[in-house]
Amino acid sequence: MSTKTPSSGNLVIVESPAKAKTIERYLGDGFRVLSSVGHIRHIPPGDESAIDIAGGFTAKYEVDPEKKKTVAELKRAVKAADEVWLATDEDREGEAIAWHLAEVLGLDVEHTKRITFHEITKSALEEAIAHPRTINMLRVKSQQARQVLDRLYGYELSPVVWRKVPGGKSAGRVQSPALRLLVEREREINAFTAESSYKVTAVLTHGDEELKGELKRSLDDEDAARALLEQLPDATWTVRDVSVKPAKRNPPAPYTTSTLQQDANSRMGYAARTTMNAAQALYQAGKITYMRTDSTTLSKQALASAADYIKSNFGGPYLHTRQFKTKSAGAQEAHEAIRPTDISVESAGRNQYEKKVYELIRTRTLASQMAPAELEKTTVTIDVSTIEDDFEAKGEAVVFDGFLKVYGRNIEKYLPRLNAGDVLDPCVVTAHQTFSKPPARYTEGSLVKKLEELGIGRPSTYATILDNIKSRGYVQPGEGMAAEREAVELCLDYVENPGQVTREVQIESYGNDKGKLIPTAIGEVLSDFLEKYFTRYVDYGFTAATETELDCIEQGECNPTEMLTEFYGPFHQLIEAAADIDRSTVGKSRVVGIDPATGRDIIARVGRYGPMLQIGSVDDEEKPRFANLPKGRTIDNVTIDEALRMFQLPRVLGSDTDGRDVKANIGRFGPYVQVEKTYASIKAPLDVFTITLDQGLELIEEKRKAEAEKHIASFDDGAIQVLKGRYGPYVTDGNKNAKVPKDVDPTTIDEEMAREMLAKAPEKKGRGRKTATKKTAAKKKAPKKK
């Protein structure tokens, strides 16, 4: 759509610098586009009067110190502009940013032009400029209510957690129910008792073709399985019936935020944050529509573009235009699903993550507008003359691939052409012991799906929820560990051992935890604490109802002050009562056994840094001794022998040629050997409990050699070094890293050059970051009731 360009001197303010560049390119002359770089104001931390509870929960805001320069630049730009357009995102946070910008920049909230768009394309921007609106204050009030609620929840409950829960760092309105889900699932798995049965399969042939049939029921035990196999040596296998039925498989809906995160996790193993970072970069580059949405709707223009592309590239029979109904109750149909802005663009993105996420989005969008796959499902019933039970073989063939042409995996399972009465030749019949499976651990994708089902969180918060519970040490991703068990297999081989049933015990792996989310001991203790003392506030229903109330406020049907009052009164009473909770009763502990050397108890318990072993208590005359839990063991299952072994560490293996001790121990990153300040990892097949002095010295020597090869130069007694890194040479002083330019020979760098490079380099990521710790607990007091 073409519109008349407004007069020159137009200032457009967006959230992201990357988005600003793309938009300015499309709008052209007469428009200047600047970025606020996200939020510019926040509720000041540590300010007891920041939220006026008695005054209707009104919040005081201040400009972020690091945003003062940005705000000053925006103020200058506003003075020079004829017209200001606020173009922040259309969700609650974006609307709140627009309001904060108007407040700080002195803009009239009731008249300043507010524009939104679901995609960064020339036509979408022209449409937005042609139809501006004003700031939606109902949406702003909803965001403020959410912010105040989360502030009160976190700032009042987190100090209780610090004081009462060993290793506890924080609690949050949404993260705590998410953690509870993981803890409950882990306990379901631990309480599960597997039951075994026997699955009987037969490999049969018809002419030169092979098929596999399966007994239509499982057998209870090995005796029943053997009894059945022993009846089969002289049996005749005959096709009793061949049933062929048509079937259809429909394509899935276009992506919402949640389904994109689920699919990227299950197909490519991407974390929710990785997926969202890639999607945000694609959106800011104008390649996809807005990536935070719970709608499955496609615009008329998108439907038409997809239809044209499908007809041109695949033919008319592949086209099936459809509009999917959004399932989420809070979704807004005016929003769109995530889709490419131009369906004909086959690849987009600056790196492999963005390219793969774009490919997912594009193929899913195309598939959603394509015809169903037409299938032919075949079931062959096989009669066995010596037993009453039938075997069954199933096949599936694709008659018309439809949407599977672009989206989906090969689902075909071929069977030979058979007719009733055909005689089949048996090759091998096996009865394999199988075990019932416990509930599956959550992955990031399946947890997001569960949160969405329960109404917990919103598209913009799923990745943050996962980040929080992982970064605080409440959950850890599985490392690919699996357990082993014995499984019996009985076999009747008509070729190798005709007429004989052989037995083999196989070792099989099960329960691989790769990619799964596993609650830590600290996470379990925290979840139990919250559920015991703050039951209502980690209840799934409370969290979901809060999201519904926030939607209600946005629609103008609920009062934010009433909602916050109803929450805060009972909540604050529990906070005050928490002062009487005895910390010693919080946490998990178990007496593993008696230390034979001292006669004192060996206790497995949760400490500040996680699960640990302890000999004795603080009340004993002799100080208690501490050790790590063995890897893969928990407080519940560590044995006395395993515990005693851990107290043998650190082991002194002997001395090097200079008389320095060579030690073996287990640290935060695993087992290692050490000589003074030189550390080398111990890797399989070597073991920390059996490694010898010679093996330890060999590892130390290899480490020193690797460090020497990495070293290029040192200055100021080693305070500044030039090193070879994974991505090339760099200069470091421990606080900053400066990459050596490609046109500079690192061996020619002197101290002056090194210092100049470091002066221009940024601080290492993570330094100076504000984190909630016990040190800052005193500063982070909850707002006092006025």
Can you tell me the mean pLDDT for 277-284?
Answer: 93
Q: Give the amino acid at 670.
A: G
Q: Say if CB 76 and CB 93 are below 8 A apart.
A: no
Averaged over 733-737, what is the pLDDT? 87
pLDDT band at 357 (very low <50, low <70, confident <90, very high): very high
Report the distance separating Cα 92 and Cα 464, nearest Å: 16
- Residues in a beta bridge with 376: 246, 397
pLDDT above 90: percentage of residues in the chain: 65
Q: Above 80 in pLDDT, residue 771?
A: no
Closest CA to 354 of 275, 449, 440: 275
- The pLDDT score that the predictor gives to residue 422 is 95
Confidence of residue 110 (pLDDT cuts 50, 70, 90): very high
What count of Cα atoms within 13 Å lies in the side-chain half-sphere of residue 371?
Answer: 15
Dihedral (CA of 232, 234, 235, 238) sign: positive
Which pLDDT score, from 0 to 100, does residue 130 have? 93
Question: Are the CB atoms for 463 and 276 separated by under 8 Å?
Answer: yes
Return the pLDDT at 726: 81
Compute the radius of gyration of the chain from its Cα atoms.
33
User: Would the pLDDT of 203 be above 50?
Assistant: yes
Q: Which residue has the higher pLDDT, 508 or 777?
A: 508
The pTM score is 0.80
Pairwise CA distance, residues 655 & 696, whole Å: 10
Nearby residues of 271 by Cβ (< 8 Å), 6 or more positions away = 265, 444, 463, 466
Question: Which of 119-128, 328-337, 481-490, 552-561 is least confident?
Answer: 328-337
DSSP annotation string for 74-85:
HHHHHHH-SEEE
Phi-psi group of 163: left, alpha or beta (phi > 0 → left; psi -120 to 50 → alpha; rest → beta): alpha
**Confidence check: pLDDT of 781 > 50:** no
The per-residue pLDDT for range 471-502, each reduced to its tens digit, is 999 999 888 888 889 999 999 999 888 889 99
Q: Has residue 348 got a pLDDT over 80?
A: yes
Q: What are 455-470's pLDDT values in tens digits?
A: 888 888 888 999 999 9
CA 561 to chain CA centroid, Å, is 34
Task: Please provide the DSSP assignment of 169-194 as one string.
Answer: ----TTHHHHHHHHHHHHHHHHH---
pLDDT at 785 over 50: no
Q: Look-up: residue for tokens 């008319």?
A: 316
DSSP 237-297: EEEEEEEEEEEEEPPPPPB-HHHHHHHHHHHH---HHHHHHHHHHHHHTTSBS-S------
Mind telling me the catalytic residues? 290
Residues 17-73 pLDDT 10s: 888 888 988 998 889 999 999 899 999 987 878 899 999 999 999 999 999 999 999
Look at strands 391-400 and 209-215 and give their pairing: antiparallel
* Helices 257-268, 272-284: inter-axial angle, 10-degree rounding: 120
Place of tokens 């990031």: 444
342 — pLDDT class (breaks 50, 70, 90)? very high
